[in-house]
């Protein structure tokens, strides 16, 4: 008996009891569907995190006052800044830190911003034009402020999408006057939308002004010290680690801190942080996949159970087939193929269900739908394997039957 | 018919013993049977219930193995064959008809008849052709696509006979083929078997009814697992009353 014939016989045998075949396959259907949708969720989460890190800018270093161990860089009220404006200038000097392509300071304060007929509580940032390059943040209208605006301490502001919408609705705010902490600023530009940060904050909820203006009008610093964060863009992943070493050496030298001693500043490599976070989501993915795989296993046990019942029920049929010439291997193959058809068929339906489920879930989370062909192939392959593994024992039992004993079974 | 035809025996059984072991009691269902059956014979095996008729036929059909003794079928020693070779013997040399028909439920007559051909590796189109021809031989061409549930007992047994015939076996074995049928249908089945015998088939039939055995040309009587009588007789023609 050839394989095609065997498959035909198996499909016919299953067709005689469709409800049971469906219920048996249901275990595998659910198993495969959950593997596919769980992995898609995991991958979606990973992509979400990647996107969030990408929104912060790539190949980025963040330099802050305070040591990493003391947590001083969090900038609590009690902690004093240790980085000076001279340090910033040294980092920005290409002869001292050649790996740093762009350097920008970021000063922050929260405050109210007002238009003619609305006001909004937001975060006000003081920085320099390089900031927009480092963050890869372009205007959708107007022009960003330049070096001369910083040097001249001009009162211009660049608005994030959220602030622009809250204050001006759908109309273009460029050229309008807004008040920040009561001081009038001219809106120079509106930035493109960036969405959420890795921490879940709204990046677009921002009003960005020149750092000089920030110090003069919004929040005076402690003269020589930088009361904020320094961003360094390095252009490439290798550049980031070189810049990190160069800045560390430079600042230790300037602050007279020996190698191995605890520094009074912190350099954070965002590329590394993104990698660590991706590691976390990868773990999540494998955890979800493992749970789903267990349900596939349970589906396999269901198949074995039904196949055993089926062999018992069809003992007389097996006896008759043997009486007319079926060899033990013909019987073995017949039941094995039945189990495989069940599990493989279940797998195929499971794929459809899983893809649909992943699509619905990703739609409700607002994530990109990520279904890897690899995962689909693997789960279908696994379901077929489940059929082999769990179908083998019942099929073997059937093939071992003695023809006359089987025929006489009631 | 008179003396058995000359030449080598189709069936040659020597000292066949079959012991059933249940618990620690041994039951000698066959207790040293010697038997020769030649090509073209129509043999009826008789005897009271429990005398070992079915046990003997099962062994002749290669469905079971003897405890001791030898069995040569068409010159081949069947007692020592592997499971796979024995399956091939059942498939090609033997057609078996059971008292309870043993047709696959929810499967059409023609598909039931095709079953031995599937295991003989015959291709689908050829299979269908031969199965339909076998159904015609038993007078059921019009019922090829009926399932067993849609057929009468006599028709079901004729489907089973077609199945036994389809692969052109050398030997047709029937264990009480009329046991589940009324007397008129029994007569139909016997007429069919006689026709097959006339066409050259070797038929061995188990029955406990004298009326049925009367249609055979040789009668063997068993008692307690032994052959106690073996006679050639003039067969009564099975004529189905109109
Ligand atoms: N599978 C079996 N296990 C145990 N004893 C059996 C089995 N089959 C038959 N027997 C016994 O063997 C004897 C002969 O049985 P059988 O060949 O079926 O007789 P018959 O067909 O002549 O009525 C009986 O006593 C029966 O009970
Ligand atoms: Mg019997």
**B53 Cα: distance to centroid of ligand 2 (angstroms):** 6
Phi and psi, residue A244, nearest 5°: -60, -45
Instruction: Print burial letters for B202-220: b (CB count within 10 Å at least 16), e (below 16).
Output: bbbbbbeeeebbbbbbbbb
Q: How many residues does chain A have?
A: 410
Q: In this model, does residue A285 exceed pLDDT 80?
A: no
Q: What is the CATH number of domain B40-65+84-232?
A: 3.40.50.300
**pLDDT, position A290:** 84
Give the model's confidence band at A73: pLDDT under 50 very low, under 70 low, under 90 confident, else very high: very low
Q: Where are the alpha helices (DSSP H) in chain B?
A: 53-60, 83-92, 109-119, 124-137, 153-165, 183-198, 210-213
**pLDDT, position B83:** 94
Question: Which of A212, A399, A249 is CA-nearest to residue A322?
Answer: A399
CA distance B114 to B116: 6
Instruction: Tell me the average pLDDT across B76-101.
Output: 95
Minimal Cα distance from A328: which residue of B?
A: B84
Pocket (CB within 6 angstroms of ligand 1): B 20, 22, 27, 29, 47, 49-55
Q: In this model, does residue B113 exceed pLDDT 80?
A: yes
Question: Residues 6 or more apart from A230 whose CB is under 8 A from it?
Answer: A62, A63, A64, A83, A87, A88, A91, A103, A104, A105, A106
**B50 Cα: distance to centroid of ligand 1 (angstroms):** 6
Instruction: Tell me the average pLDDT across B117-129.
Output: 95
**pLDDT, position A55:** 66
Identify the contact set of chain B against chain A, taking CB-CB distances under 8 A: 58, 61, 63-64, 83-84, 87-88, 90-92, 96, 98, 102, 104, 106, 115-116, 118-121, 163, 167
Residue A2 near chain B (CB below 8 Å): yes
Of B83, B106, B116, the CB nearest to A324: B116
Mean pLDDT over each residue of chain A, to the nearest integer: 87
Candidate from A29-38, A70-79, A123-132 with smallest mean pLDDT: A70-79
Contact B38, B9 (CB under 8 A): yes
Give the model's confidence band at A324: pLDDT under 50 very low, under 70 low, under 90 confident, else very high: very high
Q: In this model, does residue A72 exceed pLDDT 60?
A: no
Q: In this model, does residue A11 exceed pLDDT 60?
A: yes
**pLDDT, position A31:** 87
Q: H-helix or E-strand containing B71? A: strand B68-73
Q: What is the DSSP string of A38-93?
A: HHHHHHHHHHHHHHHHHHT-SSEEEEEES-TTTTGGG--TTPPP--BHHHHHHHH-
Look up tokens 């016989």; give the residue: A9
Radius of gyration of chain A (CA): 33
CA distance A398 to B11: 31
Domain boundaries, chain B: 40-65+84-232
Between B59 and B239, whose confidence is greater?
B59
DSSP state of B231: E
Question: Which of A134, A123, A129 is CA-nearest to residue A61?
Answer: A134
Give the model's confidence band at A69: pLDDT under 50 very low, under 70 low, under 90 confident, else very high: low
Q: Are strands B171-175 and B202-206 parallel, antiparallel or unpaired?
A: parallel
How many Cα atoms within 13 Å fall on the side-chain side of residue B223? 4
Minimal Cα distance from A17: which residue of B?
A: B106
Q: In this model, does residue B198 exceed pLDDT 60?
A: yes
Q: In this model, does residue A245 exceed pLDDT 70?
A: yes
Give the model's confidence band at B6: pLDDT under 50 very low, under 70 low, under 90 confident, else very high: low
Look up tokens 């010439």; give the residue: A325
Share of chain A above pLDDT 90, in %: 44
Name the residue with the closest Cα to ligand 1, atom 5.
B20
CA distance B174 to B97: 4
The predicted-structure confidence for A179-228, as pLDDT tens digits, reads as follows: 998 899 999 999 999 877 666 678 899 999 999 999 888 887 667 888 88
Q: In this model, does residue B209 exceed pLDDT 70?
A: yes
Burial class (CB in 10 A: 0-12, 13-18, 19+), A27: buried
Instruction: Tell me the average pLDDT across B44-58.
Output: 96
Instruction: Tell me the average pLDDT across A130-159.
Output: 92
Give the model's confidence band at A292: pLDDT under 50 very low, under 70 low, under 90 confident, else very high: confident
CA distances from A334 to A24, A341, A398, B109, B119 (A): 17, 10, 10, 21, 12
Give the model's confidence band at B8: pLDDT under 50 very low, under 70 low, under 90 confident, else very high: confident
- Residues of chain B with C-beta less than 8 angstroms from the C-beta of A5: 118
CA distance B5 to A79: 119
CA distance A113 to A122: 7
Q: Are strands B68-73 and B76-77 parallel, antiparallel or unpaired?
A: antiparallel
Q: How many residues does chain B have?
A: 242
CA distance A115 to A105: 27
Best-predicted range by mean pLDDT among A41-55, A365-379, B27-41? B27-41
Q: In this model, does residue A79 exceed pLDDT 70?
A: no
3-state SS of chain A: helix, strand, coil percent to 5? 55, 15, 25
**pLDDT, position A70:** 53
Q: In this model, does residue B96 exceed pLDDT 50?
A: yes
Phi and psi, residue B233, nearest 5°: -140, 165
Give the model's confidence band at A76: pLDDT under 50 very low, under 70 low, under 90 confident, else very high: very low
**pLDDT, position B4:** 52
- Beta-bridge mates of residue B182: none
Using alpha carbons only, give the angle A367, A372, A373 rounded to the nearest 5 degrees.
150
Question: Which of A123, A66, A326 is CA-nearest to residue B83?
Answer: A326
ipTM: 0.95
**pLDDT, position B241:** 82
The predicted-structure confidence for A346-379, as pLDDT tens digits, reads as follows: 999 999 999 898 888 878 877 777 777 888 888 8
Contact A298, A382 (CB under 8 A): no
**pLDDT, position B3:** 52
**pLDDT, position A77:** 38
Residue A183 near chain B (CB below 8 Å): no
Q: In this model, does residue A74 exceed pLDDT 50?
A: no
**pLDDT, position A281:** 78
CA distance B157 to B145: 15
Give the model's confidence band at B2: pLDDT under 50 very low, under 70 low, under 90 confident, else very high: very low
If DSSP codes are grouped into helix, strand and coil, which group holds residue A322? helix
Instruction: Tell me the average pLDDT across A36-46.
Output: 82
What sign results for the dihedral spanned by CA atoms B104, B110, B115, B116?
positive
Rounded to the nearest angstrom, the gap between the alpha carbon of residue A307 and the centroid of all alpha carbons in its chain is 42
**A316 Cα: distance to centroid of ligand 1 (angstroms):** 18
Question: Quick check: B96 and A324 CB within 8 A?
Answer: yes
């Amino acid at each position: 008996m050839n394989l095609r014939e065997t498959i035909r016989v198996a499909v016919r045998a299953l067709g005689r009891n469709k409800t049971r075949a469906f219920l048996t396959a249901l275990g595998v259907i659910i198993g495969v569907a959950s593997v596919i949708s769980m992995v898609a969720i995991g991958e979606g989460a990973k992509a979400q995190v990647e996107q969030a890190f990408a929104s912060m800018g790539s190949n980025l270093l963040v330099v802050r006052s305070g040591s990493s161990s003391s947590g001083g860089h969090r900038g609590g009220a009690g902690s004093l800044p240790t980085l000076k404006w001279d340090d910033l200038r040294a980092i920005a000097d290409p002869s001292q830190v050649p790996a740093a392509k762009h350097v920008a300071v970021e000063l922050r304060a929260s405050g109210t911003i007002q238009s003619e007929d609305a006001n909004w509580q937001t975060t006000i940032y003081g920085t320099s034009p390089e900031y927009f390059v480092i963050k890869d943040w372009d205007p959708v209208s107007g022009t960003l402020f330049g070096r001369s605006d910083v040097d001249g301490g001009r009162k211009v502001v660049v608005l994030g999408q959220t602030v622009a919408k809250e204050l001006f609705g759908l109309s273009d705010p460029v050229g309008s006057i807004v008040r920040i902490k009561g001081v009038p600023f001219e809106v120079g530009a509106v930035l493109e939308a960036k969405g959420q940060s890795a921490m879940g904050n709204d990046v677009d909820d921002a009003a960005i002004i020149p750092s000089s203006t920030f110090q003069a009008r919004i929040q005076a610093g402690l003269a020589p010290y930088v009361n904020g964060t320094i961003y360094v863009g390095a252009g490439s992943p290798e550049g980031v680690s070189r810049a990190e070493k160069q800045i560390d050496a430079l600042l230790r030298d300037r602050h007279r801190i020996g190698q191995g001693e605890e520094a009074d500043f912190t350099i954070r490599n965002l590329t590394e942080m993104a990698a660590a976070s991706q590691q976390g989501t990868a773990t999540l993915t494998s955890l979800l996949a493992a749970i789903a795989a267990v349900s596939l296993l349970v589906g396999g046990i269901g198949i074995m159970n039904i196949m055993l019942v089926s062999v018992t029920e069809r003992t007389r049929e097996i006896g008759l087939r043997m009486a007319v010439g079926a060899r033990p291997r013909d019987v073995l193959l017949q039941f094995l193929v039945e189990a495989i058809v069940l599990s493989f068929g279940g797998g195929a339906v499971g794929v459809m269900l899983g893809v649909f489920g992943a699509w619905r879930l990703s739609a409700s989370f607002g994530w990109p739908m990520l279904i890897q062909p690899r995962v689909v192939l693997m789960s279908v392959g696994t379901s077929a394997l489940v059929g082999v593994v769990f179908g083998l024992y019942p099929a073997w039992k059937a093939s071992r039957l003695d023809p006359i004993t089987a025929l006489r079974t009631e | 018919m008179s003396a058995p035809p000359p030449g080598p025996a189709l069936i040659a059984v020597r000292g066949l013993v079959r012991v059933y072991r249940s618990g620690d009691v041994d039951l000698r269902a066959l207790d040293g049977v010697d038997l020769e059956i030649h090509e073209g014979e129509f043999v009826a095996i008789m005897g009271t219930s429990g005398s070992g008729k079915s046990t003997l036929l099962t062994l002749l059909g290669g469905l079971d193995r003897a405890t001791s003794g030898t069995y040569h079928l068409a010159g081949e020693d069947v007692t020592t064959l592997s499971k796979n070779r024995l399956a091939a013997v059942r498939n090609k040399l033997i057609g078996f008809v059971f008292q309870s028909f043993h047709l696959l439920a929810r499967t059409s007559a023609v598909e039931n008849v095709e079953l031995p051909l599937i295991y003989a590796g015959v291709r689908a189109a050829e299979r269908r052709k031969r199965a339909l021809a076998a159904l015609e031989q038993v007078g059921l061409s019009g019922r090829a696509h009926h399932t067993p549930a849609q057929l009468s007992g006599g028709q079901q047994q004729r489907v089973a006979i077609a199945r036994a015939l389809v692969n052109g076996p050398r030997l047709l074995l029937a264990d009480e083929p009329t046991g589940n049928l009324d007397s008129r249908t029994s007569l139909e089945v016997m007429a069919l078997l006689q026709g097959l015998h006339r066409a050259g088939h070797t038929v061995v039939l188990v029955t406990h009814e004298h009326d049925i055995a009367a249609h055979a040309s040789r009668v063997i009587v068993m008692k307690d697992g032994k052959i106690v009588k073996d006679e050639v007789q003039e067969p009564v023609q099975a004529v189905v009353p109109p």
